[in-house]
Amino acid sequence: MRTVSGIQPTGNLHLGNYLGAIRNWVVMQDRLEAEGGECLFFLADLHAISEYQEPKAFAQGIREMAAALIACGIDPDRSILFRQRAVTEHAQLQWLLNATARVGWLNRMTQFKDKSGKNREGASVALYTYPVLQAADVLLYQATHVPVGQDQKQHLELARDIATKFNTDYGVELFTLPEPMIPPDAARIMSLRDGSAKMSKSDPSDMARINLTDDADTIAAKLRKAKTDPEPLPSEATGLEGRAEAKNLVDIYAALAGTDVASVLAQFGGQGFGSFKPALADLAVAKLSPIAARLKELQGDPAELDRLLAKGAEKARALAAPTLAATYEAMGL
């Protein structure tokens, strides 16, 4: 098995990013290594520019994301971690695959419709052809499996369509058709100030999120002040219906403890938040403090981050080059 996953390099990562995606990557890395498989993780900087990025903040965000992935458990010695733009084969293969992709296929991509909204004519061409670059990201490495959430399944189907049509048109068996890998249900972490809104780095209140860089005192203070209600915790999950803030804190506890909501409520049911919040704070500090310490160490050594990413890019290019060369050859180029 060989899997390929990309993540847009935005800075100021928070608990929602970790529990919602990054932690699943670490689990996948460990599992595939045990099974003799291989994981490639890349910072999708070329995808990110489909919308305007302020250059200085963007450059900083790329390093921050690399540091966060490593601090959370992605090991550059066990997986291949790199910047997308450092492997020029991605952009080259996208252009070649543009000749195979059909306009009608791209017109059916719902994510473009969602992101462009009513201003479709004002959206960038890069946003429109984003799925073809995603296809190149995957097909370039002959990936056998791709972790996909519900919002990306359509793009993986497009990659398979492009691969099938290319192989058929040119009479080759070049591209592997990747299979979807459905990750474990990701924890959906909400704002600490509003249980109906996702935890977000763009929230104007820093108290609404737990940043991966927060120290122990800050984590404890944010959870202590997190919005709740006056009722005690129920003994069963049905008792959390209509209690968004209470449900969010229970979900966070379950995700950090690696258990389920029923088990958390079996332990804390009937207790008030005066008891539950300190227990949650202790758990969060225990789980996140080592990440924050490693993240701070990595952020203080940008040269080392650049070295690790360059090493990963070199490994990725070694895998990508034969596929790109074979694509040029198949097309008579």
> Tens of pLDDT along 246-284?
999 999 999 999 999 999 999 999 999 999 999 999 999
pTM: 0.88
**Which of the residues are catalytic?**
115, 198, 201
What DSSP string describes 211-265?
BTT--HHHHHHHHHTS---SSPPPSSGGGGTT-HHHHHHHHHHHHHHTS-HHHHH
Core vs surface per residue 154-172: b (16+ CB within 10 A) or e: ebbebbbbbbebbbeeeee
Strands 38-43 and 80-83: parallel
Q: Give the C-alpha separation, 12 to 311, whole Å.
A: 25
Structural element, H or E, at residue 136: helix 125-139
Q: How many residues does the chain have?
A: 333
CB 157 within 8 A of CB 163: no
Does 237 have pLDDT greater than 70? yes
Does 10 have pLDDT greater than 80? no
pLDDT score of 152: 75
Give the tens place of pLDDT for each residue, 156-208: 999 999 999 999 999 999 999 999 987 766 678 999 999 999 999 888 999 99
Does 232 have pLDDT greater than 80? yes
Span 31-55, average pLDDT: 93
Q: In sequence order, what are the residues at sequence separation of 6 or more whose Cβ sits closer than 8 angstroms to the Cβ of residue 61?
A: 9, 10, 11
Give the tens place of pLDDT for each residue, 199-220: 998 889 999 999 999 999 999 9
Residue type, 283: L
